[in-house]
Amino acid sequence: MKAVIAVHVGAGYHSELKLPQYKRVCKTACQKATAMLENNECTAVDAVTAAVTVLENDPITNAGFGSNLTLKGTVECDASVMDGRSLNFGAVGALSGYSNPILVAREIYNQQVRNNLTFGRLPPCFLVGNGAAEWARENVLTSEKQQHLVSEEAKRSYLKYKRKIERHEEGGSAGGEVERLDTVGAVCLDKSGNVASAVSSGGVLLKHPGRVGQAAVYGCGCWSELFDSSSAVAVSTSGGGEHLIKTMLAHRCAEALRTSDNAVPALSDCLKEHFLQSRYLKGVDQKLGGVLALSVDHQDAACDVIWAHSTKSLCYGYMETGGRTAKFGCSRLEEVDVGRNVVVGGV
């Protein structure tokens, strides 16, 4: 069976002017992961970790270096990774000092696999804040100074919207909303038939320090599951973190895909019923979310790449082993439907 990698640079708003940059980073991430997947020893977890690392390293994305800044002007990142066969999960939240939070999440995942703590102690699956940073240093992951994580564009956006908030609090107009909600992620099917997913985010601009979004929360940012010898799913989400947490959207989508033979309508129905119409989001005007998923049928040796979103746009890329080049796309939703309807696609 061919291995497949798919990545996204978030459900949010992606300007036409920056599309070449989004295309470049999506294709680079896919090509990096696919080159690894050509080796039969490369696992799905290896591939999604490598792909997300590429996305984090590019300042065009809201993850790792170049992330949105908090109210205090600092970078705090969330990330997680999940393996479909073992269902092991590793996550970090509100992590400072690391340009690749996915690598810290991966090391937390690795410790669960090793499960070698003394006196029967359970290894953690989710660490936050200073405790997460201290754990990372103890596990020989190199930290960086805050200023090395802040890109010039992130600094400009921070100053622009901080001034708008200050004017609004003084009685003036807020002058529009912060658009940058996007989270990056990856989903993968490896040659052994296993799946994995990963997600990473700098969170919303001007968030309160310590805030944790869906990218770090179990069942909300990503989900992977190898159900039996015949099927598997992998999901990565993006959008308004608080809304995705309340609806546990990643797990919801995985369950919808597991119980359906037709992935595209199943994903569409899931977002409409469990997100747009969710009783947990009553009173919310615009519900902003997006999903990238793999739906695998091992019996037919088929793997569908599917995406859906209620945001203005979602940029994605995908590639399979043996392919000559990665594919890129940017799905868009009409302005009138943003936050109120869903657009779905797949290959």
Catalytic residue among 61, 183, 247, 311: 183
Calpha distance 192→195 (Å, rounded): 9
Contact yes or no for 59/151 (Cβ under 8 A)? yes
Residue 322 vs residues 5, 24, 38, 55, 325: alpha-carbon distances, Å: 12, 20, 8, 22, 9
d(CA 68, CA 153): 9
- Nearest partner of 204 among 157, 167, 248, 274, judged by Cα: 157
Cross-strand partners of 188: 5, 196
43 belongs to the catalytic site: no
Total Cβ atoms within 10 A of residue 152: 9
Cα–Cα distance, 147 to 121 (Å, whole number): 36
At 244, give phi and psi (nearest 5°).
Answer: -70, -30
Q: Specify whether the CB–CB gap between 310 and 288 falls below 8 A.
A: yes
Residues acting as catalytic residues: 183
